[in-house]
Chain A
Amino acid sequence: MKITKIELINICKVKNERTILKNVNLKIIGGKRYIFFGPSGSGKTTLLRLINRMDDPTSGEILIDGHNITELPILNLRKKIGLVFQIPVIFNGTVKDNLMAPYDIGAINSPPNDAELKHVLKLSGLNNNFLIRKASELSIGEKQRVNIARMLLNKPDVLLLDEPTSALDNSSATRLLESIMELSKVNGLTIIMVTHQLEYARLLGGQIIDIQDGAIINEQL
């Protein structure tokens, strides 16, 4: 079943006695694009990490299609709601080796064939020649695309992107955002992206959730 609604209700998060999120309420509708926008340290990334349970809130609850997130099988949840980190993480070996990771760790049951690998590469904006390239030798932008392609092999409904453009130059960032937009429009993925750059937020389109000092201060379309 595809995820159609995520609700965050009275979410608070306290870390090391510091309040990171204060009473956050938010409704995410499947298939749409959302941008968590705000300055560094405002709680955007913390909020993002709660949605696939990399962390849990101190109080409040998250409902996925009406079910409490803590009652859902967590490994399956993380496959359905994929998180791509700000700094891309590359495993040893080629791009193909990296794309095999979801199978190697048991997230998917059968090894993806070449056609599937090429498909996710294409969706992420990379051509087939990348499969045999050594992953550690790619540019940051290419590594970020490999991270997205790797996540796509899990066939997620929701893609959480934590400042994916932060280490990229302007033209690479624009191209990456176009690929992400494509994933949303053509494949119907729900996109939630964190950024502190307004031009990128506008470029991706969708609803901008303005977060400051751990609280949502504005939601605009």
Chain B
Amino acid sequence: MEQFNYSLININSFDLLIGLGLILIVVGLSRWQNLMLEGELIVGAIRTLIQLIAIGYVLKYIFSLDNWYLILSFIALMIIVASITVTRRQKKQTKELPYLIGIAITAGSGVSILVATQIILQIEPWYEPYYLIPLAGMVIGNSMNAATLAVERIDSEIKNKRTEIEAYLALGATSKKAASSCMKAAMRAAMIPTINSMMVVGIVSLPGMMTGQILSGTSPIIAVKYQIIIMYMIAFSVAVSSLILTTLRFRRYFTRNHQLIEEAFE
């Protein structure tokens, strides 16, 4: 990879403490303004520190092992955690929801990661963790946020439009047809943040991965090319994940005979 004549400045423990000082100032601001966010800020800052340091060591260990099933297991773990996180954010947490989210995220992010690593980048070996894990992390993270929006929206749309859905069913519509406006609204809600970020990337925001590559000495031209691929991967994964998720989730409100399930609305 093309590198600048540039050496990355290391960050030591003292530097991290200076960074933490910024958080302490925010804690002071919170107390001054009576926002009552001090506890959450401190916990958040400590969790950021511990979680990221821990993951740094985990990644270092996984990278050193050069073991494909460990790398795939790590990606599977990311999807499991993402699925549980999305489920916990929902008002109505049904038993099957984490599985539906897992299927949706695996399908959406799986295809985009395969295309990026095996067709575009053609990484060697195929499981090269330096590429596979950061790419998977970004795509899964974005798909997780999209899944949260998609589930929230499909649930609220179906509940709010119950009478309209029943009217369509009474006219002879299938349950999918009757709920189609709800599914479209959920997909739009899930995809709009990604589309918005594609609109402003490079103008209003410099994405984290691109910034990271530039900081580590990669030519900005190469960094932006990576970023372009990432944005397209995310758009694909978000769209496919939310499509699959809304298609699977709406079914809980209907019987096979296109009748509403009363209990699902409680």
Contacts and interface: CB of A to CB of B under 8 A. Distances in A.
Nearest to A77: B172
A184 to B, nearest CB: 19
A102 B172 contact: yes
B172 A54 contact: no
B257 A85 contact: no
A85 B259 contact: no
Nearest to A16: B262
Interface in A60-90: 74-76, 78-79, 82-85, 87, 89
Contact of B167 (A15, A76, A89, A154): A89
Given A15-B262, A102-B171, A74 B163 contact: no
A69 to B, nearest CB: 10
Contacts of B173: 75, 105-107
B167 A75 contact: no
Given A53-B257, A105-B177, A151 B163 contact: no
A95 to B, nearest CB: 15
B68 interface: no
A52 interface: yes
Contacts of A54: 166, 169-170, 259-260
B211 interface: no
B170 A83 contact: yes
B66 interface: no
A99 B246 CA distance: 28
Contact of B259 (A56, A84, A107, A151): A56
A101 interface: yes
B213 interface: no
B163 A87 contact: yes
Given A82-B170, A85-B170, A89-B166, 18 more contacts: A53-B259, A54-B166, A54-B169, A54-B259, A56-B257, A74-B258, A75-B173, A75-B174, A79-B171, A82-B171, A85-B163, A85-B166, A91-B167, A105-B168, A105-B173, A105-B174, A105-B177, A151-B170
10 contacts: A56-B257, A76-B172, A78-B170, A85-B166, A89-B164, A101-B168, A101-B171, A105-B174, A105-B178, A151-B171
Interface of A: 15, 52-56, 74-76, 78-79, 82-85, 87, 89, 91, 101-102, 105-107, 147, 150-151, 154
The 7 closest A-B pairs by CB, nearest first: A107-B172, A89-B167, A105-B173, A79-B172, A83-B170, A78-B172, A105-B177
